[in-house]
């Protein structure tokens, strides 16, 4: 049985890409689009370097982890820049993710950071970790510097007792590239039921809507969207949309 999978370059000092499975109902991203993936306890936004179709269970003898989210509907950089990043990684034996980071907008790819947060304001004083968190959440790296040592064991104990939570936070507001359809010929006569349904949905949305929203419950309509664009009934443009990555408990 074949599975849908992608190779992903992560913004980390590692000398290889990593293969992840694309679960349903996520769409298979193109090379150059970004995805959010798990990497140990962290979440990381990386860039797709290749799309694979391989046998179930492939992936160096272990089960592939799933992509958590497909962020972009189209590549974030043109093919020549993607080729340049791949060449730099191979020619200079550099971490692929760091090379792809150079060709993308700032904050295009990044990794989450562990953040500790106090859950119980009535926790008794005297514990250095608890006292440090009373003024608000702190990155675990910041907490480590303040305490002068690795707080992992103390955090684990406090998490088990329900006093502290440790979460993976992508921190800053991100963005994604989306394809948006706009009605360009109101008098166009649809050629078939699928085209008619697409135009009806687009008019109901005010003549302007993300392509993903138009076809969310009927992915088979995507072909009709592309054909209508070829015929001039609508136009498809790329827009940058703000998105908040959010926080995931760890």
Query: HSE (CB half, 13 Å, CA atoms) of 202?
Result: 30
Same domain, 91 and 158: no
Asked if 188 contacts 230 with a C-beta cutoff of 8 angstroms, the reply is no
Whose tokens are 């009373």? That residue is 134
- Give the distance from CA 207 to its chain's centroid: 28
Q: Domain of 227: which CATH number?
A: 1.10.10
**What is the domain range of residue 85?**
2-110
Residue 8 covered by a domain: yes
Provide φ and ψ at 101, rounded to 5°.
Answer: -60, -35
Residue 95 covered by a domain: yes
**CA-to-CA dists, residue 124 to 121, 131, 137, 181, angstroms:** 9, 9, 17, 57
Same domain, 52 and 100: yes
Residue 127 covered by a domain: yes
Cα–Cα dist 11/83, whole Å: 17
pTM: 0.59
| Total domains, the chain | 3
34-49 pLDDT, tens per residue? 999 999 888 888 999 9
Cα–Cα dist 214/147, whole Å: 52
Average pLDDT value for residue range 42-63:
74
139-182 pLDDT, tens per residue? 888 888 888 888 888 888 888 888 888 876 665 445 666 788 99
- % of the chain at pLDDT higher than 70: 84
Residue 250 covered by a domain: no
204-230 pLDDT, tens per residue? 999 988 888 888 888 889 899 999 999
Give residue 240's pLDDT band: very low, low, confident or very high (50, 70, 90).
low
3-18 pLDDT, tens per residue? 689 999 998 889 999 9
Give residue 57's pLDDT band: very low, low, confident or very high (50, 70, 90).
very low
Residue 132, both tokens: 């440090």
Same domain, 129 and 94: no
In DSSP terms, 4 is beta-bridged to 53
Domain boundary (130, 146, 169) is at: 169
């Amino acid at each position: 049985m074949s599975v849908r999978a992608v190779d992903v370059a992560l913004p980390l000092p590692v000398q290889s890409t990593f293969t992840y499975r694309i679960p349903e109902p996520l769409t298979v991203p193109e090379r150059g689009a970004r995805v959010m993936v798990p990497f140990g306890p962290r979440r990381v936004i990386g860039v797709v370097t290749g799309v694979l179709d391989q046998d179930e269970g492939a992936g160096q003898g272990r089960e592939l982890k799933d992509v958590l989210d497909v962020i972009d509907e189209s590549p974030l950089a043109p093919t020549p820049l993607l080729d340049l990043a791949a060449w730099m990684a191979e020619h200079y034996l550099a971490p692929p993710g760091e090379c792809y980071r150079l060709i993308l907008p700032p904050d295009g790819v990044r990794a989450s950071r562990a953040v500790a947060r106090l859950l119980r304001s009535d926790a008794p004083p005297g514990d250095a970790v608890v006292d440090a968190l009373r003024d608000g959440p702190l990155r675990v790296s910041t907490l480590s510097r303040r305490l002068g040592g690795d707080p992992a064991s103390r955090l684990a104990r406090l998490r088990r007792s329900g006093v502290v939570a440790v979460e993976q936070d992508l921190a800053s507001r991100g963005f994604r590239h989306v394809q948006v359809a706009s009605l360009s010929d109101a008098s166009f006569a649809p050629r078939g039921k699928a085209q008619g349904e697409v135009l009806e949905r687009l008019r109901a949305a005010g003549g302007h809507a993300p392509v993903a929203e138009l076809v969310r419950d009927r992915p088979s309509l995507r072909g009709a969207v592309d054909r209508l664009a070829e015929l001039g009934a609508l136009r498809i443009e790329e827009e940058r949309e703000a998105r908040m990555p959010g926080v995931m408990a760890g």
